């Protein structure tokens, strides 16, 4: 298990003392769950919300949704749904409304460190890093398949970045371990390198079960049945299909009361109509069908309205990020999710380019602003996403996290607490004066105005004298600093051993032979 | 006058035929003034708006505002204001409210090409390029002092970019002409190279008068007295000071019914209190005092609530862009301007870095989103702004303009016109199908989803095969294309000659001796 173990950075990078000193200079305290103080952007009138709702429910009644999974079909039959053509489920609107009514609007994510528990839903939102990258752009700038050691590094960064609320799961795909056993190492790495909440693999029902079993070990038997601790994601095969792999994993999570993201996968114009409003109706129908199914599996279990949003390039067919329709679909989804009273997920810092360049900045910031202003709760893919998700850039990971911290501050809204004292300083300073030396400024400056650490605002002369360093280089230096200063959160040794024993046993049971990815 | 004349690009760059062909492939049709379909972000309750209003009016009554200008003081005396200490004007709230009540909430900008007229205010907004850069980053990547030829180029780009509604004025400072005469050449370049609306120099009252005289020539005598055609900007010396230069220019514009931006210049924490809410109260007091003065000068003339927003780096004292407080101040300013029923201006694509890198993208997109979602009408500095305004980057100019086009599309809101037809395609395609060949998709794809031309969404293999080109390089190629395809809009030869005669006469009158900038 050496690859998933913490590296002995203290010895390698200059000693425990130096590391402690660096650490004390870096604030790694996690921000609480964002409590929103800004009203969301709401482009639809009540009538228009009703129009989308009605169109979606008509799709579910008349077109139906395919559940490509015998267990789900049997479940739906028992629940009284109208099944046609073997696996096409037609849901009437009363049944859909009745089922989704029991999804909790809010709950609390419990972390193994209770200081990192997170209220979730309604006014409370969290940032979660990107996941699923088959490539990493490391601090040398090389783009390559990642390893378990790389995965450990991104879990460490997630642990240390204040605006990041979760360690997620396979932020990068560890190519040095067999696919069939990978979910075990990924889960262990999330649990081991951070004491924030995390995500669980949904690559099959059985793999989902492994995640639940490991959560039982980490939190103690039965704890998770009454406490959400981990999140699964289930992508739809849009249009209007859910497959066996996703549904099997969904059941593993729902049965143990762990929330799943019910995520239609929108490639606007390719698997949805060429219309933002009709795309919304389709994705809403898809999300509702999966949300309803979570309640068939386990009435009252938490579930999260999801989607992945991209529009399609006419030139290449590639998914695009940061387009106006993505922003509009985020605002609309927020309105629909609030209409149904369920928490919802979006994708936050998506971008298309191969380099961490201006386009990456434009696209990520545009999407971040639309996600945070749409009131999304589970703000996934909030750090590292490059090349349409193919690459996780370590430099972008830390730069994105700083952008999230700024958006967080914005979304908290206006602070009025010292308004009167601040107004008094206007009288003190008067016309033509300045505030830099005023006692109120000295006391409040640091908390009043956000100070990004990765931004360069020096003079051109100073910037040149310091080597004309651009954003990716500054961010890479920050990655190195953070990894040097990283301190592993304490994990009870008996729990750690039990987790390792579980993995060892399961790896004996799961064939690994043909499972190493050829690309590695 | 050769430097301000159009270059004979047809001859230099491959002939009239090639230029015509390239031009026909590039859509340079100006978008109409944005008609907003998204509700603005409104973080303040009615009570909080009233709180800012009350605090601002108390500042105007009790602290007062310095008008460092004998003419303004005489005007204020005649208007019945309480003047103390020579130039400190104390305005009671009834007088302020009464004065600003006559500012028109909407008007139309008239361009010399009536197809480019722009409704303005309330739901209608426009994008205006950056101005005032003492440096240009040209298509070779060199950072240097600009010339009149460079100024002509950025006016040409402004003319051709669809989301840019104005040619502005000194987008870059033409260092090859004496400062004292520069405003004449700048105005001529705006008028000559574009038939969109533009801005007028406010570097002194006399210079403002020259702009008015040139507008009389361009539009015909007396036309501008009843038609807004040009915009001036007057910066405040925050806190609470307006100076003679700005006020003189303001009068030149107001008397001829041309709108001025009344722009407090916020460096948050340096010239305002260390509090977002109190900063809003101060800037609101400053803006109100200047808006009120426009109505003292000419009751009923158009005027625009303005500001420049930056927060200050604790490290260097440099202004920062894209920070959360800037977004919040934009949202708040929108609420205050709507409260008073006056149109307002913001700064759109500001950024700090010296390179057109990821930071530039993050900061510009963040600010753009906050400006467009705050409902700003005069969205200035919408293209080119780098290095805190010190440099205009040609690459960023065209890339920013594409971001503006996307934000424009977003702010138009959701299109419902073909909702039923698009829903029908969901029934046609059904579960598991795809939409790419569906007749509705073929008909609507192009209009349904925005397709950015400068974004790279190719595979990494294709991207590498094509030379691993990053955003700045793609944008530079676009600049070259546009300048090659540029066609000068027709200007009546007699009008052109009259403008040149005016400039020649004024340049004989204005001493140029010591006026060439030393840096050139």
For position A7, what pLDDT does the model report? 42
Q: How confident is the model at residue B517 (pLDDT cuts 50, 70, 90)?
A: very low
- Rounded to the nearest angstrom, the gap between the alpha carbon of residue A329 and the centroid of all alpha carbons in its chain is 18
Please name the residue ranges forming H helices in A148-307: 148-160, 179-193, 205-219, 244-255, 276-297
Asked if residue B369 lies in contact with residue B407, where contact means CB atoms within 8 angstroms, the answer is yes
Q: How confident is the model at residue A1 (pLDDT cuts 50, 70, 90)?
A: very low
For position A20, what pLDDT does the model report? 73
Q: What is the pLDDT of residues B497-513, one digit of tens each?
A: 999 999 999 999 998 75
ipTM value for the complex:
0.95
Strand bridging mode B82-84 / B241-243: unpaired
Average pLDDT (A325-351) is 98
Residue B28 in 3-state DSSP? Answer: coil
Chosen from A134, A313, A431 to mutate, greatest number of chain B CBs within 10 A: A431
Angle at which helices B205-219 and B493-509 cross, to 10°: 160
More confident residue, A400 or A15: A400
- Rounded to the nearest angstrom, the gap between the alpha carbon of residue B392 and the centroid of all alpha carbons in its chain is 14
Q: Would you tell me which residues 402-421 of chain B have a C-beta closer than 8 angstroms to some C-beta of chain A?
A: 403, 406-407, 409-410, 413-416, 418-419, 421
Residue A256 in 3-state DSSP? Answer: coil
- Residues with Cβ within 8 Å of residue A45, at least 6 apart in sequence: none
Average pLDDT (B148-176) is 98
More confident residue, B2 or B397: B397
For position B14, what pLDDT does the model report? 54
Decide if B455 and A278 are in contact by the 8 Å CB cutoff: no
Chain B residue with minimal CA distance to A322? B406
Q: What is the pLDDT of residues A134-192, one digit of tens each?
A: 999 999 999 999 999 999 999 999 999 999 999 999 999 999 999 999 999 999 999 99
Spatial distance between the Cα atoms of B35 and B118, rounded to a whole number of angstroms: 11
Structure tokens at A86: 């073997």
Q: Evaluate if residue B9 carries a pLDDT over 50.
A: no
- CA-based nearest distance A212→chain B, Å: 31
Average pLDDT (B301-321) is 93
CB-based contact (8 Å) between A439 and chain B?
no
CB-based contact (8 Å) between B191 and chain A?
no
Q: Evaluate if residue B170 carries a pLDDT over 70.
A: yes
Decide if A276 and B415 are in contact by the 8 Å CB cutoff: yes
For position B11, what pLDDT does the model report? 43
Q: What is the pLDDT of residues B472-499, one digit of tens each?
A: 999 999 999 999 999 999 999 999 999 9
List B345's β-bridge partners, or say none: B378
- Residues with Cβ within 8 Å of residue A26, at least 6 apart in sequence: A160, A481, A482, A485
Decide if B278 and A425 are in contact by the 8 Å CB cutoff: yes
For Cα atoms A478, A10, A186, give the angle at the middle one, nearest 5 degrees.
Answer: 70
Q: Evaluate if residue A274 carries a pLDDT over 70.
A: yes
For position A14, what pLDDT does the model report? 53
Q: How many residues does chain A have?
A: 520
DSSP-derived secondary structure letter, B102: T
- Residues with Cβ within 8 Å of residue A139, at least 6 apart in sequence: A394, A395, A476, A479, A480
Residue with tokens 């500042």: B59
For position A11, what pLDDT does the model report? 43
Longest dimension (CA), chain B: 78
DSSP-derived secondary structure letter, A201: -
| The dihedral formed by the CA atoms of A248, A251, A253 and A255, expressed in degrees to the nearest 10 | -150
Bond into A239 cis (ω within 30): yes
Q: How many Cβ atoms sit within 10 Å of the Cβ of residue A414? A: 21
Asked if residue A229 lies in contact with residue A109, where contact means CB atoms within 8 angstroms, the answer is yes
Strand bridging mode A198-199 / B34-35: unpaired
Spatial distance between the Cα atoms of A90 and A464, rounded to a whole number of angstroms: 65
Q: What is the pLDDT of residues A50-68, one digit of tens each?
A: 999 999 999 999 999 999 9
Q: How confident is the model at residue B314 (pLDDT cuts 50, 70, 90)?
A: confident
Average pLDDT (B330-338) is 98
Q: How many Cβ atoms sit within 10 Å of the Cβ of residue A7? A: 17
Q: Which of A51, A274, A441 shows the shortest C-beta gap to B445?
A: A274
Asked if residue A383 lies in contact with residue A371, where contact means CB atoms within 8 angstroms, the answer is no
Average pLDDT (A263-269) is 96
Q: Evaluate if residue B357 carries a pLDDT over 60.
A: yes
CB-based contact (8 Å) between B426 and chain A?
yes
Across chain B, mean pLDDT equals 94
List A118's β-bridge partners, or say none: A109
Q: Evaluate if residue B6 carries a pLDDT over 90.
A: no
Q: Is A375 exposed, middle or buried (0-12, 13-18, 19+ CB in 10 A)?
A: buried
CB-based contact (8 Å) between A80 and chain B?
no
For position A9, what pLDDT does the model report? 41
Q: SS in 3 state form for B363-376?
A: HHHHHHHHHHHCCC
DSSP-derived secondary structure letter, B14: T
Spatial distance between the Cα atoms of B201 and B219, rounded to a whole number of angstroms: 18
Residue with tokens 């909440």: A197
Q: Evaluate if residue B183 carries a pLDDT over 70.
A: yes
Q: Which of B241, B242, B280, B285 is nearest to B260 (CA)?
A: B242
Q: What is the pLDDT of residues B244-257, one digit of tens each?
A: 999 999 999 999 99
- Residues with Cβ within 8 Å of residue A258, at least 6 apart in sequence: A200, A212, A215, A224, A228, A229, A230, A231, A232, A301, A302
Strand bridging mode A260-263 / A304-305: parallel
Average pLDDT (A361-387) is 98
Q: Which of B239, B238, B234, B209 is nearest to B224 (CA)?
A: B209
Asked if residue A335 lies in contact with residue A49, where contact means CB atoms within 8 angstroms, the answer is yes
For position B26, what pLDDT does the model report? 87
Decide if B426 and A59 are in contact by the 8 Å CB cutoff: yes
What percent of chain B has pLDDT above 70?
Answer: 96
Strand bridging mode B391-393 / B135-137: parallel
Spatial distance between the Cα atoms of B369 and B360, rounded to a whole number of angstroms: 14
Q: Which helix (H) or strand (E) holds B141?
A: none
- Residues with Cβ within 8 Å of residue B412, at least 6 apart in sequence: B34, B35, B36, B37, B38
Structure tokens at A344: 């919802």
Average pLDDT (B171-192) is 97
CA distance readout (Å), B376 to A302, A407, B120, B283, B329 = 40, 20, 11, 16, 12
- Residues with Cβ within 8 Å of residue A497, at least 6 apart in sequence: none
- Residues with Cβ within 8 Å of residue A467, at least 6 apart in sequence: none
Spatial distance between the Cα atoms of A325 and B154, rounded to a whole number of angstroms: 30
Structure tokens at A349: 């810092």
For position B513, what pLDDT does the model report? 58
Number of H helices, E strands in chain B: 18, 21
For position B1, what pLDDT does the model report? 39
Across chain A, mean pLDDT equals 94
Spatial distance between the Cα atoms of B396 and B383, rounded to a whole number of angstroms: 7
Q: Which of B37, B322, B432 shows the shortest C-beta gap to A237?
A: B432
Sign for the pseudo-dihedral over CA of B419, B423, B429, B431: positive
What are residue A133's phi and psi, to 5 degrees? -75, 125
Average pLDDT (B8-13) is 43
Q: Evaluate if residue A500 carries a pLDDT over 60.
A: yes
Average pLDDT (B196-225) is 98
Spatial distance between the Cα atoms of B384 and B393, rounded to a whole number of angstroms: 5
DSSP-derived secondary structure letter, A336: H
Note the pTM of the prediction, 2 decimals: 0.95
- Residues with Cβ within 8 Å of residue B2, at least 6 apart in sequence: none
Q: How confident is the model at residue A24 (pLDDT cuts 50, 70, 90)?
A: confident
Q: What is the pLDDT of residues B409-467, one digit of tens each?
A: 999 999 999 999 999 999 999 999 999 999 999 999 999 999 999 999 999 999 999 99
Q: Which helix (H) or strand (E) holds A319?
A: strand A319-320
For position B3, what pLDDT does the model report? 41
Asked if residue A273 lies in contact with residue A229, where contact means CB atoms within 8 angstroms, the answer is no
Spatial distance between the Cα atoms of A4 and A174, rounded to a whole number of angstroms: 10
Chosen from A47, A399, A432, A457 to mutate, greatest number of chain B CBs within 10 A: A457
For position B8, what pLDDT does the model report? 42
Q: Evaluate if residue B515 carries a pLDDT over 80.
A: no
Q: What is the pLDDT of residues A177-236, one digit of tens each?
A: 999 999 999 999 999 999 999 999 999 999 999 999 999 999 999 999 999 999 999 999
Provide the phi-psi class of A168: left if phi over 0, else alpha when psi is between -120 and 50, else beta.
left
Bond into B185 cis (ω within 30): no
Structure tokens at B478: 């676009």
For position A513, what pLDDT does the model report? 58
- CA-based nearest distance A485→chain B, Å: 23
Q: How many Cβ atoms sit within 10 Å of the Cβ of residue B22? A: 16
Q: How many Cβ atoms sit within 10 Å of the Cβ of residue A360? A: 35
Spatial distance between the Cα atoms of B363 and B455, rounded to a whole number of angstroms: 17
DSSP-derived secondary structure letter, A109: E
Q: What is the pLDDT of residues A242-262, one digit of tens each?
A: 999 999 999 999 999 999 999
CB-based contact (8 Å) between B227 and chain A?
no
Decide if A278 and B426 are in contact by the 8 Å CB cutoff: yes
Q: How confident is the model at residue A5 (pLDDT cuts 50, 70, 90)?
A: very low
């Amino acid at each position: 298990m050496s690859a998933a173990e913490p590296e002995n950075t203290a010895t390698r990078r200059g000693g425990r003392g130096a590391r402690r000193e660096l650490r004390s200079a870096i604030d790694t305290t996690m921000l609480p769950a964002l409590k929103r103080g800004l009203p969301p952007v709401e482009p639809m009138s009540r009538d228009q919300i009703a129009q989308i709702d009605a169109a979606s429910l008509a799709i579910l009644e008349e077109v139906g949704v395919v559940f490509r999974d015998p267990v789900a079909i049997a479940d739906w039959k028992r629940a009284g749904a109208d099944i046609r053509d073997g696996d096409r489920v037609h849901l009437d609107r009363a049944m859909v409304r009745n089922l989704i009514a029991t999804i909790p609007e809010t709950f609390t994510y419990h972390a193994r460190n209770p200081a990192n528990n997170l209220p979730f839903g309604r006014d409370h939102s969290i940032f979660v890093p990107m996941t699923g990258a088959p490539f990493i752009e490391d601090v040398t700038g090389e783009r390559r398949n990642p390893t378990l050691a790389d995965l450990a590094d991104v879990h460490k960064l997630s642990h240390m970045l204040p605006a990041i609320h979760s360690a997620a799961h396979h932020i990068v795909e560890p190519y040095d371990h067999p696919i069939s056993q990978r979910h075990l190492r990924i889960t262990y790495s999330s649990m081991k390198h951070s004491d924030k909440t995390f995500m669980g693999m949904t690559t099959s029902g059985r793999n989902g079960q492994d995640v639940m079993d490991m959560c039982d070990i980490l939190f103690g038997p039965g704890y998770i049945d009454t406490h959400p601790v981990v999140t699964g994601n289930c992508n739809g095969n849009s249009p209007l299909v859910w497959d066996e792999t996703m549904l099997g994993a969904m059941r593993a999570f729902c049965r143990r009361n762990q929330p799943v993201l019910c995520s239609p996968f929108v490639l606007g114009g390719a698997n949805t109509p060429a219309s933002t409003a009709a795309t919304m109706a389709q994705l809403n129908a898809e999300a509702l069908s999966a949300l309803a199914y979570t309640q068939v599996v386990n009435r009252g279990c938490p579930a999260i309205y999801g989607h992945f949003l991209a529009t399609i390039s006419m030139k290449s067919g590639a998914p695009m990020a940061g387009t106006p329709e993505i922003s509009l679909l985020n605002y609309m989804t927020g309105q629909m999710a609030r209409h149904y009273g369920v928490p919802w997920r979006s994708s936050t810092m998506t971008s298309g380019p191969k380099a961490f360049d201006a386009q990456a900045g434009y696209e990520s910031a545009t999407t971040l602003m639309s996600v945070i202003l749409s009131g999304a709760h589970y703000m996934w893919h909030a750090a590292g996403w490059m090349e349409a998700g193919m690459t996780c850039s370590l430099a972008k990971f830390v730069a994105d996290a700083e952008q999230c911290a700024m958006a967080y501050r914005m979304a908290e809204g206006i602070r009025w607490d010292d308004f009167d004292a601040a107004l008094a300083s206007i009288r003190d300073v008067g016309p033509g004066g300045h505030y830099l030396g005023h006692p109120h400024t000295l006391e409040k400056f640091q908390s009043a105005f956000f100070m990004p650490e990765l931004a360069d605002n020096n003079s051109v002369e100073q910037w040149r004298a310091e080597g004309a360093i651009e954003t990716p280089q500054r961010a890479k230096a920050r990655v190195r600093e953070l990894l040097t200063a990283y301190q592993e959160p304490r994990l009870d040794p008996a729990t750690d051993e039990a987790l390792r024993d579980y993995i060892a046993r399961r790896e004996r049971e799961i064939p690994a032979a043909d499972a190493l990815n050829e690309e590695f």
